[in-house]
Copies of this chain bind each other. A is one copy, B any other.
Amino acid sequence: MHAARPNELYAWQAARLLARRELSAVELLRACLDRIAEREPHVLAFAHLASEAALAQASALDAGTWRGPLHGLPLGVKDLFDTAAMPTTYGSPVYAGHRPAADAAAVVLCREAGAVLAGKTVTTEFAYFQPGPTRNPRNLAHTPGGSSSGSAAAVADAMLPLALGTQTAASIIRPAAFCGVVGYKPSLGRVPRAGVKSLSETMDVVGGFGRCVRDVALLGAVLTGDQRLNDEAALAAPAAPRIGLCLTPDAPQMGADSQAAWAQALRVLAPAAARMADAPWPAALPGLVALQKAVMAHEMAHALSHERTQHSAALSERLRGLFDEGMAIDGQAHVAKLQATAAARGLANAWFDDFDLLLAPSTLGEAPAGIDATGDPLFSRGWSLLGLPCVHLPFARGSRGLPVGLQVVGRWGDDHRLMAAAQWCMARLAG
């Protein structure tokens, strides 16, 4: 019936088959569980696998009426989201065996739309830099990136069609880039964060991963409640966008592999775009990396006050270092940084008078070797601070054969336009 094994189907394809009852939720889940059985011992993407509960949920979906756009699709949930029926550790031994009283709002939205909760995926420690055990499925000797390490790895390795992640610095875009999947970070404030461990109120965003743009569009429409994100017509025949080229002030840090992907994108997209031109960094807009780091350090040190004061010995040195940095910034200095952030957000709007999207680097290059660090978040820090929607497009290979790509960045709130433009770009880049 299917050329591909069910676990290899795109989420949007599987969703159609499931809606027509040409594929059962149990059948799809079993294919995913088979793949997990084969690959999980090597990739270690899961903090908790809920096979039995997921099979029961899938059976119930098969026996019932169509529940919604995610009907029957197995979903991985980053272990930074509270789940009442699965342990929730936030990637820290402090919370070993923790069982929250309630599910995170985003988890409920997905389940109400028919998603099957397959398990919790590995996050770095409180979504900061201390890695979990997950390896890059494209090359097990390399990091999958972080902090949404397990979600990106599981989707990349066809263990699951979709997974939830979060981003404060680069925690969706970077693992998407390193594992070679599409990552979607929505506009700040559009997806409820209730029940997600709070790191930085100024930047935390809930988003997710899929293996194509249509898949994150499907998931994104459920998370934001905005059906325009998954507009069939717009995604099937997106209009040619006006593309602004934004290497950011950190362009000198780009490695050869990301530079090659950049050159390839320009070559392929320029002839077809409605417009393509440099989108210069506004003169009044400061470099955002130092500002993002300081805001994140102060807010994480405060949001995690309980862990900082009660469980210091159980925290990594990296995290304790961040807390020291953050506690050295007092409230007077912090509010000035929040004011600078608000001003930067105002300035960023001007880009989108001239362009439908910005094309920008996602990472310095391929996933670094080793799993003792998750790579540099440099190229996402600024967009995270600005709160703009981003989609990572995986379309190239680096010198070691690992995935490389670029991200597209949209106007705040225009996630649906960004999604269609991302689809337009990806159709050409992957062609």
Report chain B residues within 8 Å CB of A306. 84, 102-105, 108, 195
Q: Is the CB of B198 within 8 A of A194?
A: yes
A282 within 8 A of B: no
Q: Is the CB of B305 within 8 A of A194?
A: yes
Residue in B103, B112, B193 whose CB lies within 8 Å of A198 = B193
> Interface-forming stretch among A67-75, A145-153, A245-253, A333-341?
A333-341
A109 within 8 A of B: yes
Report chain B residues within 8 Å CB of A198. 192-195
Q: How far is the CA of A384 from the CA of B52 in the complex (A)?
A: 45
A65 within 8 A of B: no
Residue in B101, B109, B307, B338 whose CB lies within 8 Å of A302 = B109
Residues 100 to 139 of chain A near chain B (Cβ within 8 Å) = 100-105, 108-109, 112
Q: Is the CB of A307 within 8 A of B102?
A: yes
Q: Is the CB of A201 within 8 A of B193?
A: yes
A224 within 8 A of B: yes
Task: Name which of A105, A228, A330, A338 has the most chain B CB atoms within 10 A of its CB.
Answer: A105
A397 within 8 A of B: no
User: Given A108-B309, A226-B330, A332-B226, does the pair A303, B192 have CB atoms closer than 8 Å?
Assistant: yes
Q: Is the CB of A302 within 8 A of B413?
A: no
A312 within 8 A of B: no
A293 within 8 A of B: no
A370 within 8 A of B: no
Q: What number of copies of this chain does the assembly contain?
A: 2
Q: How far is the CA of A226 from the CA of B334 in the complex (A)?
A: 9
A98 within 8 A of B: yes
Residue in B302, B330, B413 whose CB lies within 8 Å of A339 = B413
Q: Is the CB of A303 within 8 A of B224?
A: no
Q: Looking across the interface, which residue of chain B has its beta carbon closest to that of A103? A: B306
Q: Looking across the interface, which residue of chain B has its beta carbon closest to that of A192? A: B302
Task: Name which of A98, A189, A192 has the most chain B CB atoms within 10 A of its CB.
Answer: A192
A225 within 8 A of B: yes
Q: How far is the CA of A187 from the CA of B332 in the complex (A)?
A: 13
Report chain B residues within 8 Å CB of A108. 305-306, 309
Residues 290 to 322 of chain A near chain B (Cβ within 8 Å) = 299, 302-307, 309-310
Q: Looking across the interface, which residue of chain B has its beta carbon closest to that of A84? A: B306
A227 within 8 A of B: yes
Given contacts A194-B303, A224-B331, A338-B413, 18 further A-B contacts (CB under 8 A): A102-B306, A103-B305, A104-B306, A105-B302, A105-B303, A109-B302, A109-B305, A189-B202, A190-B331, A190-B334, A192-B299, A192-B302, A192-B305, A225-B331, A226-B332, A227-B330, A335-B413, A346-B346
Enumerate chain A interface residues (CB-CB to B < 8 A).
Answer: 84, 95, 98, 100-105, 108-109, 112, 187, 189-190, 192-195, 198, 201-202, 221, 224-228, 299, 302-307, 309-310, 330-332, 334-335, 338-339, 346, 413
User: Given A95-B101, A335-B224, A335-B226, does the pair A309, B202 have CB atoms closer than 8 Å?
Assistant: no
User: Given A225-B330, A227-B330, does the pair A335, B190 have CB atoms closer than 8 Å?
Assistant: yes
Report chain B residues within 8 Å CB of A194. 198, 302-305
Q: How far is the CA of A224 from the CA of B332 in the complex (A)?
A: 8
Chain B min CB distance to A207 (Å):
14
Q: Is the CB of A225 within 8 A of B334?
A: yes
Q: Can you list 11 A-B contacts (CB < 8 A)?
A: A102-B307, A105-B304, A105-B306, A190-B334, A192-B299, A192-B303, A194-B198, A201-B201, A225-B330, A226-B330, A227-B331
Report chain B residues within 8 Å CB of A339. 413
Residue in B112, B227, B303, B310 whose CB lies within 8 Å of A309 = B112
Report chain B residues within 8 Å CB of A101. 95, 98, 100
Report chain B residues within 8 Å CB of A307. 102
Q: Looking across the interface, which residue of chain B has its beta carbon closest to that of A345? A: B342
Q: How far is the CA of A227 from the CA of B192 in the complex (A)?
A: 32
Task: Name which of A195, A306, A338, A413 has the most chain B CB atoms within 10 A of its CB.
Answer: A306
